[in-house]
């Protein structure tokens, strides 16, 4: 049996997910619940296979190859593997430019 990893959601990723679900639930609460389930299920798949996510191309171009992602269209689940832990860092809308989103977050700090 493959080794199991702990999957941990950062505060930023939890906030991202909350904003996504809140936004969708304004129009369709049932759809919001389905999307929440899909994103959480996909992230939970990292428990055994964290390497299955691809390296985030935009970050790789900047020399940051330790960040990976899974896609639940149109969202990108960004994460990093740390020993026996997978840290979910963000859930971003794939239709947005990731560099713009990350720059805006850095400015907010």
**Per-residue model confidence (pLDDT) at position 91:** 97
Domain count, the chain: 1
**Per-residue model confidence (pLDDT) at position 86:** 97
Residues spanned by the domain of 25: 6-108
Q: Does the residue 56 lie in any domain?
A: yes
**Residues in CB range of 99: below 8 A, 6 or more apart:** 58
Q: Does the residue 47 lie in any domain?
A: yes
**Per-residue model confidence (pLDDT) at position 108:** 65
**Per-residue model confidence (pLDDT) at position 3:** 66
CATH code assigned at 78: 3.30.2310.20
Q: What is the mean pLDDT of each run of 10 residues along the chain (109 residues)?
A: 84 96 97 97 93 89 90 96 95 87 71
**Per-residue model confidence (pLDDT) at position 10:** 96
pTM over the 0.85 mark:
yes
DSSP E strand stretches across 1-109 = 6-9, 54-55, 67-72, 75-82, 85-93
**Per-residue model confidence (pLDDT) at position 97:** 83
**Per-residue model confidence (pLDDT) at position 9:** 97
């Amino acid at each position: 049996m493959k080794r199991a990893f702990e999957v941990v959601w950062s505060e930023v990723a939890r906030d991202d997910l909350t904003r996504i679900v809140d936004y969708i639930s304004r129009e369709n609460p049932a759809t919001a619940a389905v999307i929440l389930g899909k994103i959480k299920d996909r992230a939970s798949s990292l428990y055994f296979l964290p390497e299955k996510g691809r390296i985030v191309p935009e970050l790789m171009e900047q020399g940051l190859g330790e960040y990976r992602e899974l896609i639940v269209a149109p969202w990108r689940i960004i994460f990093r593997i740390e020993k026996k832990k997978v840290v979910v860092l963000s859930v971003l809308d794939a239709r947005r430019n990731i560099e713009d989103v990350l720059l805006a977050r850095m400015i907010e700090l």
